[in-house]
C-alpha cells in the first residue's frame, strides 16, 4: 500500500511539473525585433536580418524580425507595446523610455539629421520657395514629417504633403516629378546624386535599440553585450556591414532626453 501511494504521488508530481512551463522552454520562445520603416520593407529585411540572426546566435534565443509598411502602423504598434526589441528614431525612443518604461540598450553611431531636397533640374535655394508646392515625405509621426512642421510653423503658409511609405519612396516621387521637394534622412543623399539639399535640420541622436520592460534583465544585458561586441565575431561583422556601420555605441536615456515632445501634435500622444 505504501508503495502504491508513493507511486501515485510521484506520478502526480510528474504530471504537475509537465503542465508548468520550464525555464528552458521559456528561453526558447522567439523574441521579436521590430524596425522602423525608414526603408522599404524588403530592403529593411535585407539590411537587418543579419543583425537579427547574429543576436539570436549570440544570446541563444530565436529572434523574429518584424517590419511595418509605414510610420502610422509603427506608432500604433508602439502604443500597444507589442514587441521585445525595437530599432527606431530618437523621438520614439524618448517616448518609450518616459511613457512606457522601456530601456535603451545601444545606439547607431553619431547623430542624424533630415534634409529637404529638390532635383538638380529645378534648383530651389530656400524652403520658402516650396510654400504652396508639394513635398514628399513619410507621414507623421515620422521624424521627417515632424521636422517639416518646424520648418513651416505658419499654418497658413505651408507646402502640400505627398505621403510616401518610406524615405526611398519620397526621393523617387521627387525624381519622378510627383513632388517639387522631398524630406529624407541626410545619409540617404549619397544614394541620389541628382538630388540637391535645400535645408538640413539640426542633428539629433542616432536611432537606437530599445528593450521592453517585460524583457528579463539578463536578456537585456545579453543583447546589449552582443551589440557592443558585434565587431569581434564574423557574424557580428557581417551584421554591421549589412547596416553600413562600424559598430554600435553605448547609450542611455539621457541621449534621447527631450525629443518625445516632437510627437505632441498626435491626437493619441
User: Which CA distances in Å does 114 have to 64, 120, 164?
Assistant: 29, 18, 15
Is the overall model pTM greater than 0.85, yes or no? no
Element (H, E) at 23: helix 23-27
In the CATH hierarchy, which top-level class contains the domain 32-110+205-263?
Answer: alpha beta
Quick: pLDDT tens for 139-189: 888 888 888 988 999 989 999 999 998 889 999 999 999 999 999 999 889
Q: What are phi and psi of 177, to 5 degrees?
A: 65, 30
Confidence at 17, pLDDT banded by 50, 70, 90: very low
pLDDT above 50 for 22: no
Rounded to an integer, the average pLDDT of 255-265 is 84
Residue 237: other Cβ atoms inside 10 A: 16
Residue 246 vs residue 121, higher pLDDT: 246
Quick: pLDDT tens for 182-219: 999 998 898 999 999 999 999 999 999 999 999 999 99
Rounded to an integer, the average pLDDT of 125-132 is 94
- The pLDDT value recorded for residue 78 is 78
Quick: pLDDT tens for 77-95: 877 878 999 999 999 999 9
- The pLDDT value recorded for residue 122 is 84
Residue 125 vs residue 81, higher pLDDT: 125
User: Which CA distances in Å does 248 have to 54, 91, 110, 199, 232?
Assistant: 14, 19, 10, 28, 12
Confidence at 236, pLDDT banded by 50, 70, 90: very high
The mean of the pLDDT values for the chain is 86
Rounded Cα–Cα distance for residues 266 and 78 (Å)? 13
Rounded to an integer, the average pLDDT of 33-61 is 94
131 and 152 in contact (C-beta within 8 Å)? yes
- The pLDDT value recorded for residue 143 is 84
Alpha carbon 128 to chain centroid distance?
31
Confidence at 266, pLDDT banded by 50, 70, 90: low
pLDDT above 80 for 113: yes
- The pLDDT value recorded for residue 213 is 95
Domain limits, the chain: 32-110+205-263, 114-201
Residue 16 vs residue 48, higher pLDDT: 48
- The pLDDT value recorded for residue 25 is 35
- The pLDDT value recorded for residue 170 is 94
Q: One fold for both 32-110+205-263 and 114-201?
A: yes
CATH topology of domain 114-201: D-Maltodextrin-Binding Protein; domain 2 (3.40.190)
Confidence at 49, pLDDT banded by 50, 70, 90: very high
Rounded to an integer, the average pLDDT of 240-266 is 89
Rounded to an integer, the average pLDDT of 222-240 is 97
Amino acid at each position: 500500500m505504501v508503495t502504491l501511494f508513493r507511486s501515485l504521488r510521484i506520478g502526480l508530481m510528474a504530471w504537475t511539473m509537465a503542465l508548468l512551463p520550464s525555464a528552458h522552454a521559456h528561453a526558447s520562445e522567439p523574441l521579436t525585433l521590430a524596425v522602423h520603416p525608414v526603408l522599404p520593407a524588403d530592403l529593411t529585411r535585407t539590411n537587418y536580418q543579419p543583425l537579427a540572426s547574429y543576436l539570436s546566435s549570440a544570446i541563444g534565443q530565436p529572434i523574429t524580425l518584424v517590419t511595418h509598411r509605414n510610420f502610422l502602423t509603427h506608432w500604433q504598434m508602439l502604443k500597444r507595446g507589442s514587441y521585445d526589441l525595437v530599432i527606431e528614431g530618437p523621438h520614439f525612443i524618448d517616448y518609450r523610455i518616459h511613457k512606457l518604461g522601456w530601456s535603451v540598450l545601444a545606439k547607431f553611431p553619431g547623430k542624424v539629421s533630415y534634409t529637404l531636397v529638390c532635383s538638380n533640374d529645378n534648383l530651389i535655394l530656400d524652403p520658402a520657395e516650396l510654400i504652396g508646392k508639394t513635398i514628399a515625405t513619410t507621414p507623421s509621426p515620422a521624424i521627417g514629417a515632424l521636422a517639416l512642421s518646424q520648418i513651416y510653423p505658419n499654418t497658413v503658409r505651408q507646402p502640400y504633403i505627398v505621403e510616401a511609405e518610406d524615405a526611398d519612396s519620397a526621393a523617387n516621387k521627387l525624381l519622378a516629378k510627383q513632388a517639387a521637394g522631398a524630406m529624407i534622412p541626410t545619409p540617404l543623399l549619397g544614394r541620389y546624386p541628382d538630388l540637391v539639399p535645400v535645408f538640413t535640420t539640426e542633428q539629433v541622436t542616432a536611432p537606437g535599440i530599445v528593450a521592453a520592460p517585460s524583457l528579463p534583465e539578463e536578456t537585456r544585458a545579453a543583447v546589449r553585450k552582443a551589440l557592443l561586441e558585434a565587431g569581434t565575431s564574423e557574424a557580428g561583422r557581417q551584421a554591421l556591414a549589412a547596416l553600413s556601420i562600424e559598430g554600435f555605441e553605448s547609450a542611455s536615456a539621457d541621449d534621447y532626453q527631450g525629443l518625445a515632445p516632437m510627437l505632441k501634435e498626435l491626437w493619441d500622444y
